[in-house]
Chains A and B, each alone.
Chain A
Amino acid sequence: MILTVENLKKSFDGFVAVNGVSFSIEKGELCSIIGPNGAGKTTVFNLITGYLPLDEGRVIFNGVDITHMRAYQICRLGMRRSFQRTNIFPRLTVFENVQAALLAYRGKSFNFFTPVETLFREETEAILGRVGLQDHSNAMSGSLSYGFQKQLELGIALASEPDVLLLDEPTAGMSTEETSATIELIGRIAHEKGLTLLFTEHDMEVVFSISERILVLHQGQMITEGSPDEVRTNPDVQKVYLGEAR
């Protein structure tokens, strides 16, 4: 197991957002978390990656207890994430965005006197090529289209060659074409790199087409998990998504 989550709990001002979620993920798996709005998907991500402190529970990553580690420490162990709203460095160029991630990952960030523009040029260009941004390398990233910004985010996450990648709604706000292109890209990269991928997604077509396993959250609790076919036919899941039919 590369990632094991045990009994996660988190509440905000008395509102229980996540209530005892447990699951494990194997190396190389492609998993998704689904659930209606407010089910606690993003909060689970925030708890795993150290963005929020958790109230109860344990997170084990690659055999290391990361429950109380800070976000940057968890990152250094090889877990990366993207955010639901785009999360880039808007007044830096596309190139600089990815390069910064490389600097951090390769341990070159605490260097005061090497001119930064000489470092990791080819590596950065290679990553930009992989996420389809090779022609925008000198553009101000904040002025890119939404789809390109999402691709850049993926590039930032990939720069550090993570073992596990957590993607929060990677296609949110995208058009149908952008969505399928992005999903194709993610799937391809995951296979090439042997990545373990955990993502949340609202587009059910996407979820069922690429996930190997699906976890279903509802009101902060996990109601079921299984292969796409198992989940599709599960009566509880149908209840959650279609409402009480009776």
Chain B
Amino acid sequence: MSKQDWFLIPIFLILCLVPLSGSRFYVFLATDILIFALFAVSLNLLLGYTGLVSFGHAAYFGIGAYACALLMRKASIVFPVSFVAAGLFGALAALIIGFFCVRLTKIYFAMLTLAFSQIVWAAAFKWNSLTGGDTGFIGVPFPQYLDSKTRYYYFTLAVVVVCLFIIRKVVNSPFGRILTTIRENSERTEFIGINVKFFQLVAFIISGFFSALAGALFGIFNHSVFPDFLFWPASAEVLIMTILGGMYSFFGPVVGAAVVLFLRMQITSYTQYWPLILGMILAVLLFFFPGGIVGFLQNRLTLLRGNR
């Protein structure tokens, strides 16, 4: 951990203390935020680091959620195995889908990721016997040893912290550096001797793996899995979190997830028009803070330091 990361310690301590507040509401919200933070950071490995706009990332989240729930309920496999398997299913789906997608660029890439995620959604929606169709797959229990909101919260916290640590390692590795060169100028990257498509595919697989883990966490947290998890507006939502928070910083998506989910929780208790508010926040942000919340703060910080 470098010097710049000192701020992570108090945040981690606060997160550990959340259940002591005694508020079920905060434990619920914090679990939700942690899960979506992991999902958004996984997406950002493609978006902010590799420069690939996936418009179908809900697919891997949903696949993870269904895989974990189905393995536990229908195949009676123990939770830890189901959980890891869910991640592997996500990685496998990302391998198959990514294989085709990385051949395309820009808007065509986004469109193909959208098409594939809609195929997965339609399959989940129509395959009643397996997924329960549009009524969803209901009644997924907490595993025995995690059978309270608080315990599940700590489990989520541990998983998310470990996953973020690993992803952080990856983006700060040579592999991660090459991903940023692909984002900046994929043609040039090819001409320093890098198989760009292959690197993009590997990034896609890693992203799919962690997205699926986030989905698996969410399915159990929610006690049920619905086709809506995979529907394209869900892909748009995580994209919004990522960009709102700041796609050019590692923790930007975490901030984005926290802000969006916190505001949603607050605002939906006053009005049903949350999408309107979200749309306005998004529009204002795109206009005035193109680097997202974290990008804006970083700019401010550099300015302050420069003035001293």
Contacts and interface: CB of A to CB of B under 8 A. Distances in A.
A contacts B directly (C-beta below 8 A): yes
A160 B185 CA distance: 18
A183 to B, nearest CB: 22
Interface of A: 49, 51, 70-73, 75-76, 80-81, 83, 87-92, 96, 99-101, 103-105, 108-117, 119, 156, 159-160
Contacts of A90: 184-185
Interface stretch (B114-122, B167-175, B230-238, B280-288): B167-175
Interface residues of B, number: 24
B184 A160 contact: no
B174 A119 contact: yes
B224 to A, nearest CB: 35
A76 B177 contact: no
Given A90-B184, A91-B184, A72 B176 contact: no
B192 interface: yes
Contacts of B175: 109-112
Interface stretch (B93-101, B129-137, B193-201): B193-201
B191 A89 contact: no
Given A90-B184, A92-B181, A92-B184, A72 B174 contact: no
A198 to B, nearest CB: 15
Nearest to B184: A89
Is the contact region of chain A dominated by helix, strand, or loop, or is it mixed? loop
Contact of B180 (A83, A89, A110, A159): A89
A110 B199 CA distance: 8
B192 A160 contact: yes
A160 B184 CA distance: 20
Given A80-B191, A88-B188, A101-B192, A115 B173 contact: yes
Given A112-B169, A112-B170, A113-B169, A103 B177 contact: yes
Contacts of B193: 72, 75-76, 104-105, 160
